[in-house]
Structure 1
C-alpha cells in the first residue's frame, strides 16, 4: 500500500504496520488492511478520547489480538471440533483453539485485505477494502467456496458506519455468519471512575453454555437482564456471556461515561440476533459488546435457523449487514 494509493486519507504506521487514517471534523479512525482490515482506533476529536481498546505494544497485541479494535469474525466465535455438515458436504476447519477443541473466530480477522478505494468529501470520509478467499489457499482448504467480503468504513458526522457485503462467488450455497469482537475502552476517560459509568445492552435470554463455552441449545432468563437493558455499572461485574438480542427497541449497546462527557451507541441492524458480552476479569479497562448474525456453533446446533441465526447464501448471491458507532456528548443533567 503506497501513500499515493490513498485519496482522502493518510497512510500511517500502527505497531509497525501500514494503516489508513480517515477523519472528519469530529472523529478520526485508523484501519489496518494487513490485520483483517481491522479498525484499530476511533478517536473523538472534541475530547481527545480513544474509544477503542488499543495495545501498548506489539507484544501486548500478539498476546491477545481479539481484545483490540474491531476484529471481523467470519464466521463468529467457536465451531465445535472445527467441523460441521451442510448440504451433504462435510467441512473440516482448523482447530485453532485447542483448549476447547474448536475452530475460533473464522477466516478473515488476521488476513490481509485489499484496499479498493479511499475518499473524502463534504459529507463523509471512507475506506473500502475487500477480502477474496480465492487468494488465500489456507482458507479455501477449509471452506471450499469462493467468497468475497467488501467492507465500507465511513465517518459521517458523529458516527462511524461499518457495512459488509458478503458475496458467494461459487456455484453452491454455503452457510455463513458474521460478527465483530469489538473492544471499547471503558471507561473512556483516563481519570473516570468505573463506578460512575454505565453499560446497557439489548439482551434477551441467555444461551446456556457447556464447559467448552458452546451453547447447549437451551436459553434461560438471566438475573442481570433487566439491569443490562436499562444500563448498569460494570464495577466488580464479570461478563462472558452469550445472549439473544431483545426484540424491542433499538438493537444497540450504550456505553456512558459521565466524567468524560461521552455516550457511545453501538448499533446493529436486525440481522444481528446475538450479542456476546465480555470484559475479561472485569477490571482491565475494556468491554466487548459483540454483535453476531448467528450464535456460537450455529452450524452444529439442532435448532431452526430462526433460533440460531444461521443463514445460507445461494450461488452468486449477496447479503449485506450494517453496524454503526454513534458518539454523543453527555451532560450530567441528562440523568
Structure 2
C-alpha cells in the first residue's frame, strides 16, 4: 500500500493511504508539554491493507455519503441499480459510502507538510461510471499547520450533464486523548438539534428529538453512549460548524471545524474501537431518493463545468 507521511516543524505528523481511498489514518500532534497525541483511531493492520477502508482513519464518502436504499434510485427518468459486486454494501442490502473510499487515488502535489489527491470516476473507477448520472471528480488537500490538520475538498463536474452529489467524512476519533485518562469521562459536543427518524439506518423523512442521553448539544460523557444517529438542525458559529471532543483529565480537546454547507452530523460509536465518529455530511442518508419524494434531504446538483469547495479542520487544543 502506498503511504505518504507529512509533517511540520511543530512535530505533528499525518499518514495518508493513497491506495485505500486517500484515507488519512493517523494524525499525531505534539502538545506544548511534549506529549504525542494520536487523534485518529485505526486498526493495527490498516497500513498493511488488512482492514476495511470504512473502519479506520478518515474515510472520504463521495458521490453519496452513507446509504442508498437497496442500491436503487431513479434520475431524470432513468433507473439505476447498484450491486454488491460493484460497490460496497451493508448487511441490509444497501449501497454504502460511495465510489472512492476503497479505490486508489492519484497524487497531484506533495510537500513536506501537505499532499493533494484526486479521484475521478471515469479515470479511477471506470467500471462505476455507469452507476451514476454523470462523471464526477473530487480533490482533497491535507495540510499540517501548527496542531491542526487542514483539509480542503473540491468537487468538480467534468461532464456535460448536471451531476447530483453528496459528500461526507467518517473520521474515527480516538478516546481518551491522554494516556492516564478515562474514555468514559471524555465529553462529546456537536451543535445539533433534532435527529432523523431511522428504520434500519434509513431516514423515514421525519424528524424527532435526540435519543435519551444523546443530546450532543449538551456535551454528554462518552461513557454509556451508543450512537448511530443522524443529527440535523446544525448551528454555525462564525460561519463554521464546530464539534468538540474534550478529555478533562488530560486538559485537551479535539475540535473539528467544518465550513458552511455541512448540514448533517452523523454520530457513531463503533463497537470495534474506543472511538467516536462525528461525520459532517452535505446531505442526509439516501438523499438521492428522499429529495425526489419532496423531502429536503440536502442533495446537491452541480452544473457542467462547475465546482464546489468545502473545508474541514481538525485541531488539538488545550481544554478550558
TM-score, normalized by length of structure 1? 0.86
Q: 1:112 aligned to 104, 125, 130, which one?
A: 104
Match of 1:279 in 2: 269
Match of 2:40 in 1: 52
Please state if 1:252 is matched with 2:242: yes
- In 2, Cα distance between equivalents of 1:151 and 1:276: 21
- In 1, Cα distance between equivalents of 2:76 and 2:213: 37
- In 2, Cα distance between equivalents of 1:319 and 1:192: 40
Structure 1 residues 33, 59: closer, same or farther in 2, change over 3 A? closer
Paired positions, count: 309
User: Residue 232 of structure 2 aligns to a residue in which SS?
Assistant: strand
Tell me if the contact between 2:213 and 2:220 (Cα under 8 Å) persists in the aligned partners.
Answer: no
Q: Which runs of 5+ in 2 are unaligned?
A: none
Match of 1:22 in 2: 6
Q: Which runs of 5+ in 1 are unaligned?
A: 1-16
State the Cα RMSD in Å: 2.2
- In 2, Cα distance between equivalents of 1:209 and 1:329: 36
Match of 2:119 in 1: 131
Tell me if the contact between 2:205 and 2:295 (Cα under 8 Å) persists in the aligned partners.
Answer: no
User: Residue 37 of structure 2 aligns to a residue in which SS?
Assistant: coil
Tell me if the contact between 1:305 and 1:311 (Cα under 8 Å) persists in the aligned partners.
Answer: no
- In 2, Cα distance between equivalents of 1:291 and 1:29: 20
Tell me if the contact between 1:61 and 1:68 (Cα under 8 Å) persists in the aligned partners.
Answer: no
- Equivalent residue runs for 1:283-294 within 5 Å: 284-294=273-283
Please state if 1:172 is matched with 2:161: yes
Tell me if the contact between 1:245 and 1:251 (Cα under 8 Å) persists in the aligned partners.
Answer: no
Shift of 1:191: 2.9
Shift of 1:225: 7.6
Match of 1:204 in 2: 193
User: Residue 151 of structure 2 aligns to a residue in which SS?
Assistant: strand
- Equivalent residue runs for 1:289-304 within 5 Å: 289-302=278-291
TM-score, normalized by length of structure 2? 0.89
Tell me if the contact between 2:90 and 2:96 (Cα under 8 Å) persists in the aligned partners.
Answer: no
- In 2, Cα distance between equivalents of 1:213 and 1:264: 27
Shift of 1:24: 1.3
Please state if 1:233 is matched with 2:233: no
Shift of 1:260: 2.8
Match of 1:216 in 2: 204
Tell me if the contact between 1:34 and 1:112 (Cα under 8 Å) persists in the aligned partners.
Answer: yes
Shift of 1:306: 8.2
User: Residue 307 of structure 1 aligns to a residue in which SS?
Assistant: coil
Shift of 1:326: 1.5
